[in-house]
Amino acid sequence: MGGAVRGVASLIDPATEEPWATVATGGGIEDADLAVAAAKRAFSSFSRTSVEERIDLIDRIIAAYERRTGELPELLAYEDGIPVSFAGQVKSSIGHMTIARDVIRDYAFERRMGDTIVRREPIGVCGLISPWNWPIQTSVVKVIYAIAAGCTMVLKPADASPASAIALAEVMDEAGTPPGVFNLVIGRGSVVGDRISRHPDVDFVSFTGSTDAGRRVAEAAAQTVKRTCLELGGKSANIVLRDADLEKAAHFNIQRGFSNSGQSCHAPSRLLVHESQQDDILKFLVDAIDLTTFGDPRDPSTTHGPMVHAQQYESVQRHIEIGLNEGGRLVTGGLGRIEGFDRGYFCKPTVLADVTPEMTLAKEEIFGPVLVVMPYRTEEEALEIANDSIFGLGGYVFSEDRQRGYEFAKGIRAGRICYNGANAVPSTPMGGYKESGIGRSMGVYGLEEYLEVKSVYGFADEAAGLPEN
């Protein structure tokens, strides 16, 4: 985790707009090169570790992480404005690590195809670039599957969330991770992220962030023809079929869509409802918003905190203004801070109705507590509206008829679909269609992103005892 210190940056508490900590920033390209070199040196030995050795390391990482779970929620509250009551990503990270450990315990890294041995081998040095909205969980998932596969890595956190990445680095050190296996570099994405993405000694880049940034990562990675796994933006539709429980669908949409103040790529940010039921569901949406409590993210009674920083607050405000100017009907919320707040990046939870597919808010990812309600006439039109997007990360379907709901879910072009508010399962693959990304994370599919495939011929006897590919 080396490199000379080049500067110090202040971290701003998004609830107070005051500095709360300082962090040393790395030397940009120089430190990125040092980290990659360290990872490359370590790969030679770490890639040859046994599954049992990597399981033992993961267990030590879990133990070290568990000792920090009491302090991490407050750190995220200061860093990102994530309420301590919304500490799920801190605890769920333990589950992700446990799943990765169990996956490699049963995974066949050698299989046979006829008389041929087909090997899965660690891909090499991995560049891991994580976002600010789920800083701990996303970083943990990337890091732990790289380790499970036998890879070494360089982690670059988002500019807004370096403190939680430093805490994770301390966990890795406490767990006795071999030198060079895990490296952390803090710096601008346009400098450090770009260097990692195009570095000739980085074999794989896993990036989570906006679609625009993902395009730049892919372009940089293409210069050395390296593989990428990109989890990018979303504009997920929640399609409420006519037989659905409107109240249940509305309350779920607010709970899921406005969690983390709407700063979630999987958020159901478009609610599609039959035109005859639009006004009925709007009442339930307002009721659900009335149950939320915006405030100090360090207060356990707070359910929703501020935007992560001033730029995100202004972006959400701009989108609300655009929606109003284009003819969206304001149901609740609107421009400006929440009443009672004279500082902090607190956006009003906002619902706009009568939104049509050609409007900006129906197309662009807002990444804030803003929901657009879009009426449809037929289920065929609803499916067409749902798929009329450059994104395809997630989708939601509400219906009292399970078969009808499943048939509709099959038609949605997105990587993860939830029926009637079902929870996603972390051992299953996560990723997007279209401009929502490339590749998958989590579980067996996530592990295989970090593996190369090699065919070895001439060992028929040895292949005979292996499982079929």
Instruction: Tell me which of 79, 231, 365, 448 is the catalytic residue.
Output: 231
Handedness of CA 202, 208, 209, 212 (dihedral sign): positive
Q: For residue 236, list its beta bridge partners.
A: 268
DSSP state of 294: B
Instruction: Tell me which of 265, 347, 365, 435 is the catalytic residue.
Output: 265
In the residue annotation, 231 being an active-site residue is answered as: yes
Return the biggest CA–CA distance within the chain: 75
Task: Give me 449's structure tokens.
Answer: 């992103």
d(CA 304, CA 437): 28
d(CA 218, CA 231): 12
Task: Give me 256's structure tokens.
Answer: 């899921």
Q: Is 363 helix (H, G, I), strand (E, B) or coil?
A: helix
Task: Give me 18's structure tokens.
Answer: 């005051």
Q: Tokens 């060079």 label which residue? A: 180
Residue 166: exposed, middle, or buried by beta-carbon count in 10 A (0-12, 13-18, 19+)? middle
d(CA 14, CA 310): 8
d(CA 214, CA 284): 36
Which pairing describes strands 204-208 and 125-129: parallel, antiparallel, or unpaired? Answer: parallel
In sequence order, the 6+-apart residues with CB closer than 8 A to the CB of 318 are none
Handedness of CA 135, 421, 270, 338 (dihedral sign): negative
d(CA 224, CA 204): 10
Task: Give me 260's structure tokens.
Answer: 């983390």
Q: Tokens 């307002």 label which residue? A: 286
In sequence order, the 6+-apart residues with CB closer than 8 A to the CB of 386 are 237, 239, 270, 272, 395, 412
Active site residues: 231, 265
